[in-house]
Amino acid sequence: MQFGRFDGLHREYVITNPRTPVKWINYIGTRAFGGFVDHTGGALICKDDPTFNRITKYIQQLPASDFKGETLYLRLKTDAGLRVTSPFFVPCLDPLDRFECHIGLGYTRIVSESLGLRTDALIFVPMGEQREVRDIRITNISDGVVEVDAIPVVEYSHPDALLQFTNADWLPQTMQSRAFSDGDFTVLLQYPFMTRETRVNFLTSNLPASSFDTDRKQFLGDNEYGAFRAPLALLQAELGNSQAQRGDNVAVLLHRLGKLPSGMTRRLIVQLGQASSIAEARPGIDRYRDPATVESALEAVAAFWDDYLASLQVSTPDQSADAMLNVHNPYQCYVTKTWSRYLSSYQPGLGARGIGYRDSMQDVIAVLPAVPQEGRDLVRMLLSFQKRDGSAMHQFNPLTMEGSCGDSLEMADRPHYYSDDHLWGVLAVAAYLKETGELGFLDESVPFYEKGATGEPLESGSVLEHLLRGLEFTRRDVGQHGLPLLGFADWNDTVNLSAGAESLFTAHLYGRALLEIAAVFEHLGDQEAEQEQRLAHDEMRLRVERAAWDGEWYVRYFDAEGRPVGSSKDDKGQIYLNAQSWAVLSGFASAARARMAMDAAYRRLNTEYGLKLSAPGFNGYDPKYGGITTYPPGAKENGGIFLHPNPWAAMAEAMLRNGERAYRYYAQINPVSMNDRIEVYECEPYVYAQNILGDEHPQFGLARNSWLTGTASWCYQTATQWILGIRPELAGLRFDPCIPPNWDGFSARRRFRGKLWQITVRNPAGVSSGVVETRVDGQQWPTNLVPPDLPGTAHTVEVRLGT
Ligand code: GLC
């Protein structure tokens, strides 16, 4: 069953049935001002930080039919009296003759038709602006005259989003609204009393409002036994002009659009913003009342995305892959870069998560081809949360820049650090260097996290020093097999063994990081330093190979007593995916073991919806393992299809030159192919979700936690760098595809170090990999690595695969 379709031409997904199984969302703006809009026009908007400066009240847990944050009513004068309806479907839920929600790049556009009216509402945040714009066109598509009013509504949250839910005494006494006349227009201001002079939210529009309300009790009426589905104030000729002195604040503007003859359109431009005062806000408000300003702001958003997506465009035999790689996947990567794991339908942004050190270090890698400078800025910021001992804070709040240990504080008797966090920085920095060649970044000075009494950093070090300290931390922090201690957890947050347990994941990540840093030293010509890192790699490789092979696959942990976890001898959790794929990514596994391990993963973990993270699932809470056993079998990390590690398995298969399987792992989780199975899958088919219930769960195939997941970054990296094989290296761009043998080739356009590379790959012999010929600008080239500094700004590269 479908709820919409892809529109490649406009780079949109178009939802055509508003009754999606869960709310499907899109993002607008940035963390500086923005949030998400759901497909029924509800919106969670904040400025700078969703925890401490939230603007709209959006409660994810309420039923889909409920009002959330923002909406729009239309009111028609009919012979039978006033008729109130919702062009966004929610909250009135009247049937619509037509519904389209266009999920665009940085905007959402909702088009609907009912009762003889077409409403076309474009919702976005102009670049660099602190306002959400809703550009709404209302057209009479009937043959007769329609008299209509348009009524946009916002419900405010207290800026302290958590307090909104935990304090029902002080908080409602402080929430106030005031109305201002601004020439012909009305501006509704809202603020908690204490920020009245310093920070105010505003709602206004480009048309005169005949009345307004800001007190929810007045607007809904009858002591709030009136409901958003049919607010009683809308049954009166005019709203009550309430200026809330306390309580639940809304902003409602009634615009009388008048009698629209057949074919006539009225345009209403609504702005929701924040400023230090009305005086500060006024000039911007004036500008955005002008449709020309709105139009050019929208063009600027489109230009940003044109440029962003131009960093890579591909044409392959798989249209679903093209849809993801050319539009939706890089878009999601930018969203995850912006929001980390902070704000979505599943991440309420109430302070617990903030920006994840580990998560963002992975997210950033995928945006480097498009926005290297933004990537560099983020990496620098993340590194400032690394501690002097080399380990890192798990997450931080981007407004207060306060770091935290995350959930590792949950269990008092477990260590309070994550063993992997700091190592991801090595991968991110290496990726930046490979993309840009800007080796000077290594010398940039970045503070460590610890601060003195007056808040100044106690120590700073170069970016390189940060990376080396991270590696040094892991080198020292080892247990009885010489493998890295687990800490509270590694990448898998939910296996929380007692202190003294060891992590194979962290061993592998450390191995991968050592390969990356060794390549950097090699490129710098520092043989001694390179050698040192390669020796460290060898040392850890031997320990892993000695201790962790179980016979058919690699174990995943050793517990504090030194017993393996993730072994055929275990009753539950016998095999873990990452222990197999990362044995390849780390360069530790011998060829024979690598193949066996990956085959075991295929046999034991693969399903039609993707690879499970582990199997079989635990069936009951067991404090020995911690978080993983809080889930029923088949859910999330406990035997669920956790998607983030799926591209790692595909990458490992590509490294092992199994193009068929690499592609299968990539393609089988492509959400585009879920478009026909939404009744099972439920989430947005235009972005990756974090998890799908596994085959031990009665709801096998059901996805959750879409948008903010490392799946986006790793699917993009795997597909572009390891399957299509267009791979930045320090010395240039490598062309090394590993594709399904039945592909006859593909083409791509890649921006790399300021030049445009037009790439054609041909596969006449029907192989998976193996470049037998490379031509650059028509000339034979001796290797499949092309240096970045060829004269000229555009080059063609022709690659032929064969044996
Ligand atoms: C979530 C977390 C991520 C973690 C993963 C596995 O996606 O954001 O940091 O690695 O779960 O537990």
Alpha carbons 338 and 335: distance in angstroms, whole number: 5
pLDDT for res 21: 98
Give me the phi and psi of 273, to 5 degrees please.
-145, -175
CB-count burial class (<10 Å; 0-12, 13-18, 19+) for 396:
buried
**Could you tell me if the CB of 11 is within 6 A of ligand 1?**
no
- The whole-angstrom separation of Cα 560 and Cα 450 is 30
- pLDDT score at 280: 96
359 lines ligand 1 (CB under 6 A): yes
616: preceding bond cis by omega (within 30 degrees): yes
Q: Considering 38, 493, 559, 736, which one is annotated as catalytic? A: 493
In ligand 1, the atom with minimum distance to the C-alpha of 359 is 9
Contacts of residue 535, Cβ cutoff 8 Å, sequence gap at least 6: none
Strands (E), 405-459: 445-447
**391: nearest Cα among 485, 517, 278, 250:** 485
Per-residue model confidence (pLDDT) at position 410 = 83
Cβ-proximal residues to 532 (8 Å cutoff; 6+ apart), any chain:
none
Residues 6+ apart with CB under 8 A from 569: none
Mutate to test the pocket of ligand 1, among 404, 423, 491, 613 (most ligand atoms within 8 A of CB): 491
354 lines ligand 1 (CB under 6 A): no
- 788: helix, strand or coil: coil
The predicted pLDDT at position 353 comes to: 77
Is 493 a catalytic site residue?
yes
Give the burial class of 369: count Cβ atoms within 10 A of its Cβ; 0-12 exposed, 13-18 middle, 19 or more buried: buried
Neighbours of 758 (CB within 10 A): 14
DSSP, res 19: -
493 lines ligand 1 (CB under 6 A): yes
Q: How far is the CA of 450 from the centre of ligand 1 (A)?
A: 25
Residue 27 dihedral angles phi and psi, to the nearest 5°: -105, 145
Instruction: Report angle CA 361, 362, 363 to the nearest 5 degrees.
Output: 95
Give the span between the Cα atoms of 78 and 147, in whole angstroms: 8
Cα 494 to ligand 1 centre (Å): 9
Q: Is the bond into 91 cis (omega within 30 degrees of 0)?
A: yes
Q: According to the model, what pLDDT value does residue 329 have?
A: 98
Nearest to 103 by CA among 44, 151, 41, 46: 41
Closest CA to 253 of 224, 308, 210, 212: 212
Q: What is the pLDDT of residue 414?
A: 87
CA distance 518 to 512: 10
| Residues in Cβ contact with 149 at an 8 Å cutoff, skipping those fewer than 6 apart | 74, 75, 254, 255, 256, 257
**In the prediction, which pLDDT does 4 show?**
98
- C-alpha–C-alpha distance, residues 730 and 788, integer Å: 10
Torsions phi, psi of 357, nearest 5?
Answer: -65, -50
**Contact residues for 615 (Cβ-Cβ < 8 A; gap 6+):** 573, 574, 575, 604, 605, 639, 694, 696
Are the C-beta atoms of 132 and 28 separated by less than 8 Å? yes
Residue nearest to atom 10 of ligand 1 (CA): 491
- Non-local CB neighbours of 586 within 8 Å, separated by 6+ positions: 507, 508, 509, 510, 511, 512, 515, 541, 544
Residue nearest to atom 6 of ligand 1 (CA): 492
Do 554 and 580 meet the contact criterion of CB atoms below 8 Å apart? yes
Q: Whose CA is nearest to atom 9 of ligand 1?
A: 359
Pairwise CA distance, residues 679 & 335, whole Å: 26
Question: What is residue 354's predicted lDDT score, i.e. its pLDDT?
Answer: 86
491 pocket-lining for ligand 1 (C-beta < 6 Å)? yes
Question: What does the block give as tokens for 88?
Answer: 């966004």
Q: Is the CB of 420 under 6 A from ligand 1?
A: no
**Angle, helix 372-383 to helix 357-367, in steps of 10 degrees:** 160
Q: State the number of CA atoms in the 13 A half-sphere of 182 facing the CB.
A: 25
- What's the N-to-C CA distance of the chain in angstroms? 44
In sequence order, what are the residues at sequence separation of 6 or more whose Cβ sits closer than 8 angstroms to the Cβ of residue 673?
320, 667
Mutate to test the pocket of ligand 1, among 422, 494, 631, 644 (most ligand atoms within 8 A of CB): 644
What is the phi/psi pair of residue 171, to 5°?
-55, -50
Under 8 Å between Cβ of 143 and 74: no
Low-confidence ranges of the chain (pLDDT < 70): none
Q: Which two tokens stand for residue 412?
A: 């008092």
Residue 766 Cα to chain centre, angstroms: 36
